[in-house]
Chain A
Amino acid sequence: MSDRDLIIDRYKDLLKTYLKGKSETALYKGQQFSRKLIEQQISPDDVLSDHVSVLHELFPDMSEELKDSFDFLLEVMIGYGFAYREHQSLRTRQRQLESEIEVAASMQQTLLMSDVPTVDGLDIGVKSVPAKKMNGDYFNFVKDHKSVSIAVADIIGKGIPAALCMSMIKYAMDSLPEQRMQPNLLLENLNRVVEQNVHPNMFITMLYGLYDTDLHEFYYAGAGHEPGFFYRASEDRFEDMFAKGLVLGVSRQTRYKEYQLRVNLGDMIILLSDGVTECRTSKGFIERDEIVDLIRAHMHKPAQEVVESVFNELERLQEFELRDDFTLIILKRKV
């Protein structure tokens, strides 16, 4: 007996039981049976045809018109069978695509992710989490004997196109080592690369900074990026770290201004992407003040624990549904 015959037999039994007692139990069994049918990828037109052949068997005296009416119904149901099979094949394809994206995402991680350096005198914490599979936020650290540079960037747009664009930014930055020490010049060069190579409706915001570990000065420049915060320990106060500058890729002639901050013991530099400030909770967008409050509540901890705590808290506020890529970096002078 083939599987198919077994199914028809089982269907017949279930139907008979139901017709005899009309019980809810029998209906429940029918519902469970439908799961089995779906598992075995039996399409709706097949089920109908089985039903009809069982009817023929159980009620041989059915009128010809009734019999013929089933032929008509069958013809109508063939279309559903069509759609069902397409659905099956699209599902298989979706699974393939998903696994391909999975591979691409892990490749992006290996290509782009920068190690967080250990720097004497600085406590650094980083949390970067993509909203979808691929991250449109980018951060990068480069360390030498007397400085560490930090870049935080965000592509306007997310998902795969943003991620592909990010790879380009990374390699462009790697190829500009002479500008590493001058944040404004680095952004100007990067801006030209982006302007020439990226589709005009794609923009990139970036904050680039250089921390001089001997002098404890922080030089930075920004290209339309979400302002960070500077925590001045002596005054126990958070300030916005504004950096004026047009987003990358708009105009070739854009010039950027360099800013400078003196970093004292206990001071903190907080860099972020707009995924942090554009958290949408049930009460609306989260305010920058609320982010500051969150950081303040945890800032007695090591930097990595602070960024983790802030992320966990914001994730909870958004009911565990990230709408935008999230990147938060904290640098704290500890010596």
Chain B
Amino acid sequence: MNIQSCVEVCNEWDIVSARQLGRNMAKELGFGNVDQARITTAISELARNIYLYAGNGKICIEAAEKMGKRGLKIIATDNGPGIKDIRKVMEDGYTTSGGLGAGLPGVKRLMDEFMIDSVVGSGTEIIATKWLR
């Protein structure tokens, strides 16, 4: 059974809590320093998106398992405005916050698996997983 831990995100400090949660889990699972830093960066980005564009939502972290692989799964959900053109936000260079290489395509590259689901007017869910090597 997977235990899931969640952090509500509604202000900038919650981003730090979400990172902390992710880092603890990553350490526990045995991720090295670089992967820990990548996972927390991915969490930062996802949490920032929630904070900036949805207002509030939550980040949940859980241990994942698939075909003998172990990993960490980040689930970011919000009830914000949703994303009209997902293809566009997944394009490199498209960013509303002026970040370099950041944004969703950056998160996708930091992680091993990435899934996004968004409905305009009702919210967005992003699931990103990193497997232990």
Contact = CB atoms under 8 A, between A and B. Distances in A.
A83 B34 contact: no
Contact of A87 (B38, B40, B101, B102): B101
A83 B101 contact: yes
B41 A78 contact: yes
Contacts of B110: 82
B109 A89 contact: yes
B33 A86 contact: no
A74 B106 contact: no
Contact of B33 (A52, A85, A87, A93): A52
A86 B41 contact: no
Contacts of B34: 45-46, 49, 74
Is the contact region of chain B dominated by helix, strand, or loop, or is it mixed? helix
B100 interface: yes
A85 B38 contact: no
A84 to B, nearest CB: 7
B123 interface: no
B120 to A, nearest CB: 26
B112 interface: no
A79 interface: yes
Contact of A85 (B32, B37, B40, B101): B101
Interface string B77-121: 000000000000000110000001110011001100000000000
A147 to B, nearest CB: 53
A78 B37 CA distance: 7
Given A75-B37, A78-B38, A49 B101 contact: no
21 contacts: A45-B34, A45-B37, A45-B38, A49-B32, A49-B33, A71-B33, A74-B33, A74-B34, A75-B37, A75-B41, A78-B41, A79-B41, A79-B100, A82-B102, A84-B101, A85-B101, A85-B106, A87-B101, A89-B92, A89-B105, A90-B93
Interface of A: 45-46, 49, 52, 71, 74-75, 78-79, 81-87, 89-90, 93
